[in-house]
């Protein structure tokens, strides 16, 4: 299988596409089930027309060019590495990344079609029903009128009568409903971190934890105790994780800590991937160490018995 090619471009003049493609347009934060429906259509077209699949998208949210800045605008549902891997899994051959600048935002729809769509040698296009482009905010139906080739506008993809969207997934993550977020993504939401030194308090009560320094600008679940799977050098360990300020010990800093079952060894400096499976409970301030340890026993039992959900595929 050919490795996906990734191009970072400043504008259309940097495009040097050699082969004709099915072009998929959108932002695609998270590559959730709704996005996967677009790529399923793109793969069908690519097979029928014997074409490559190309994507034109943005490394950061287009909202940064319009909205008043808030730090959350820089957060993502995937790390950059995971996002690239998801594009490749979806069948993308050529990925074009362009910054959504104020200058890019001024591009008129007809100019966008001439400069970018034709520049990328598109012979067919796939977009979502809610895709908008150019300064005049045209949609996929406008492309159907103006583009001389098949344009597939993929309808809304819904679960439980509600559109699957990045904002719906973000809301689920922030409220601690990571199993719901996973259901909408079609795969387990994950976080990467490096193990760093903490208070080393956990080992004194029988639950040594790895303290993680986050490596990516990704959303974190709300405070609580969670069942997770932890990947270390290709091996998976069932674990439990806590996010919060360690209120029993009057902590003031937000901490992400994981306790791995059936693991022995030194983790300091190791890179861990945390796959969030479900929430066990909220963070609670305990009146004694004994009360905390009793609860940790119950949490560990819940985490070990947790049944992994099956993910829907498009």
Could you tell me which of 152, 110, 195 has the C-alpha nearest to residue 26?
152
Domains along the chain? 5-157 (3.40.50.620), 188-305 (2.40.30.30)
pLDDT at res. 287:
85
52-57 and 21-25 beta bridge pairing: parallel
Could you tell me which of 237, 241, 230 has the C-alpha nearest to residue 280?
241
Checking 39-43 for CB contacts under 8 A at 24+ apart, the result is 39/90, 39/91, 39/92, 39/126, 39/314, 40/314, 41/126, 41/152, 41/154, 42/90, 42/91, 42/126, 43/90, 43/91
Could you tell me which of 25, 4, 245, 286 has the C-alpha nearest to residue 131?
25
pLDDT at res. 201:
61
Which residues of the chain fall below pLDDT 50?
Answer: none
Instruction: Write out the DSSP string of the chain.
Output: -PPPEEEEESSGGG----S-EEEEES--SS--HHHHHHHHHHHHHHHHHT-EEEEEE-SS-GGGGTSPP-GGGG-BSS-HHHHHHHHHHTT-SEEEEE---HHHHT--HHHHIIIIITTTTEEEEEEETT-EETTTTEEHHHHHHH-SS-EEEEPP-EETTEE--HHHHHHHHHTT-HHHHHHHHTS--EEEEEEE-----GGGGT---EEEEE-S-B--PPSEEEEEEEEETTEEEEEEEEEE--GGGT--S-EEEEEETT--S--TT-EEEEEEEEEEE-----SSHHHHHHHHHHHHHHHHHPPPPPPP--
The distance of Cα 146 from the centroid of its chain, to the nearest Å, equals 33
């Amino acid at each position: 299988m050919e490795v996906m090619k990734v191009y970072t471009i400043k504008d259309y003049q940097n495009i040097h596409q050699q082969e004709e493609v099915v072009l998929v347009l959108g932002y695609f934060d998270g590559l959730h089930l709704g996005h996967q429906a677009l790529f399923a259509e793109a793969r069908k077209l690519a097979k029928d027309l014997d074409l490559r699949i190309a994507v034109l998208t943005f490394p950061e949210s287009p909202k940064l060019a319009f909205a008043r800045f808030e730090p959350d605008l820089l957060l993502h549902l995937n790390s950059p590495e995971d996002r690239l891997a998801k594009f490749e899994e979806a069948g993308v051959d050529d990925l074009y990344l362009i910054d959504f600048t104020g200058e890019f935002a001024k591009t008129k729809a007809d100019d966008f079609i001439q400069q970018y769509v034709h520049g990328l040698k598109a012979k067919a296009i796939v977009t979502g029903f809610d895709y908008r482009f150019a300064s005049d905010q045209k949609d996929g139906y406008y492309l159907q009128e103006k583009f001389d080739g098949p344009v597939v506008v993929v309808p809304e993809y819904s679960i439980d009568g509600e559109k699957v969207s990045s904002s719906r997934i973000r809301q689920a993550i922030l409220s601690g409903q990571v199993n719901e977020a996973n259901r909408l993504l079609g795969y387990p939401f994950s976080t990467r971190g490096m193990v760093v030194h903490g208070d080393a308090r956990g080992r004194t009560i029988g639950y040594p934890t790895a303290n993680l320094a986050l490596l990516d600008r990704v959303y974190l679940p709300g405070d609580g105790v969670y069942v997770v799977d932890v990947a270390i050098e290709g091996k998976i360990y069932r674990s439990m994780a806590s996010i919060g300020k360690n209120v029993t010990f009057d902590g003031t800093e937000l901490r992400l800590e994981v306790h791995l079952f059936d693991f022995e060894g030194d983790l300091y400096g190791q890179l861990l991937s945390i796959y969030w499976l479900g929430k066990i409970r909220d963070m609670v301030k305990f009146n004694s160490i004994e009360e905390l340890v009793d609860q940790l026993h119950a949490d560990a039992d819940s985490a070990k018995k947790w049944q992994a959900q099956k993910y829907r595929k498009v």
